Amino acid sequence: MIDLFSGLDAWVLVSLLLALAFVLAFEFINGFHDTANAVATVIYTKAMPPHLAVFFSGVFNFLGVLLGGVGVAYAIVHLLPVELLINVNTGHGLAMVFSLLAAAITWNLGTWYFGIPASSSHTLIGSILGVGLANALINDIPLADGVNWQKAIDIGASLVFSPMAGFLVAALILIGLKWWRPLSKMHKTPEQRRKIDDKKHPPFWNRLVLVISAMAVSFVHGSNDGQKGIGLIMLVLIGIVPAQFVLDLGSTTYQIERTRDATLHLSQFYKRNADTLGEYLALGKSVEGDLPEKFRCNPQQTEPTITALLGTLKGVADYHSLPAESRIEVRRYLLCLDDTAKKVGKLPGLAPREKADLDKLRKDLTTTTEYAPFWVILAVALALGLGTMVGWKRVVLTIGEKIGKQGMTYSQGMSAQITTASLIGMANIFSLPVSTTHVLSSGVAGTMVANKSGLQGGTVRTILLAWVLTLPATVALSAGLFWLASKALGS
């Protein structure tokens, strides 16, 4: 890893280390918020002592990050339009990264201080959107093109519907448990268990389910939220030291061949569907040498882009053999081809089978650009785990006692945690970022309603207010910071 940063100017190296520290600080604070939710129920119900709960939560978060892949990471990255992602230079990268991280960290710390289960996912997404919109205003780009709105809509839908599903599913599970075992001790609160049964811990089987489901929540949290940190670090590395990270320099010859073959097959795909796509892609009409502009992708330049990419990769068996500028060009070509293929896949007239083929080609095209080094994954996992161990107390109290008018029962805790683990696990399969905070807290609220315990209006209003304000507040904050940083760099 050290050799990747050798030869950098001192100011670039300092900026890089500072940016990495900012990302890891964001993930550390994420541990205050979201990972604390993974152990809130198990600690409140006395199923596990706090020191064991946070330790094992950290372990399962680590495993979740390690085994979760990078699908969610790049879903976050691709909130930014492809034009902003291919605009690779150190100053621009620094402005983008520090603006969105400063906004995200500021909001996260503020909501944590007041014990509000705010969403780190919302915070990060709002910060990224703010940078994209500010970049559009600064460079006279239409706001419609300033953000990848389709990706933003997909992510927004997952963030909106996942808490609703959490509320409903957790409530239904609790109703099922009360119907199945209406007199069971699992329907007692820890306080009732202590007073009536003179027992400190839940019944054995309830305790086992609480512990297993808590670790499951920790695992899926790591594989979802942890990837957001991975995506941020890759933005940092590509923005500040592009020569070393625009492509996976550890790619095997087979992976490079796979990228080259995908490019060839993409060309054949377009020719095969020329009747449908000919006008959109200007097939056979593009001027030789008419390559994509440095900061712009154009579907009508697809053919020369394919030609240039195949020419650059000809005979290449190891990305190390490519000059730094050629690596940046290869990534630009790949991102533009992928962006165009994504747009083509949404055009009418293509058969479902052809669209499925196009999706497979897109995955092969991005094999060597959508990656994360192991040390990045490890650093994010450690930051999440340490954040859990430091800041869990405030959120545990909110989840356990301040959402409902009565304390949480064991069955409510099990229902909320099983629901949370299941919904986030499904989101991971589809590479959709969701909020552990909102899914779990809405699950707890659902069980309170199903249990007829009532909700504490003040707490619910505070959580909803944070939910509503997070996006506009972080969009405005990151946009303002990016505008100031860009003006400073431009002056």
| Domain limit, last residue, from 367, 391, 424 | 367
Same domain, 187 and 230: yes
Rg (CA), the chain: 24
What pLDDT was estimated at residue 457?
65
pLDDT surpasses 80 at 2: no
What band does 239 get if pLDDT is binned at 50, 70 and 90? confident
Mean pLDDT of 178-202: 86
Q: Do residues 465 and 321 share a domain?
A: no
In this structure, which amino acid lies at residue 389? Answer: M
The residues near 428 (Cβ < 8 Å, ≥ 6 apart) are 68, 71, 72, 220, 223, 224
Q: Residue 455: how many CB atoms within 10 A of its CB?
A: 16
Average pLDDT over residues 19-30: 83
Q: What is the DSSP letter of 34?
A: I
Are 175 and 282 in the same domain?
no
Residues 331 and 387 in one domain: no
Which residues lie below 8 Å from residue 426, measured CB to CB, with a gap of 6+?
none
Q: How far apart are CA 319 and CA 247, in angstroms?
A: 8
Q: How many residues does the chain have?
A: 491
Same domain? For 227 and 125 the reply is yes
Estimate to the nearest angstrom the gap between the alpha carbon of 156 and the chain centroid. Answer: 12
**pLDDT over 80 at 28, yes or no:** yes
74 within some domain: yes
For the chain, the average pLDDT equals 82
Domain that holds residue 386: 10-245+374-489
Question: Are 233 and 135 in a shared domain?
Answer: yes
pLDDT score for 287 = 60
Binned at pLDDT 50, 70 and 90, residue 158 comes out as confident
Domain count, the chain: 2
Q: Kindly state the percentage of the chain with pLDDT values over 90.
A: 23
Task: Examine the domain organization and report whether 64 and 145 are in the same domain.
Answer: yes
327 versus 385: the higher-pLDDT residue is: 327
Quick check: is 5 in a domain?
A: no
Helix %, strand %, coil % for the chain, to 5? 75, 0, 25
Residue 312 has pLDDT above 90, yes or no: yes
The Cα 360–Cα 114 span in angstroms is 46
Q: How confident is the model over 427-486, as pLDDT tens digits?
A: 888 888 888 877 888 888 888 888 877 666 666 676 677 667 788 889 999 999 988 888
> Residue 28 in contact with residue 61, Cβ under 8 Å?
no
Q: Is residue 326 part of a domain?
A: yes
φ and ψ at residue 147, rounded to 5 degrees: -140, 150
Asked if 183 and 48 sit in the same domain, the reply is yes
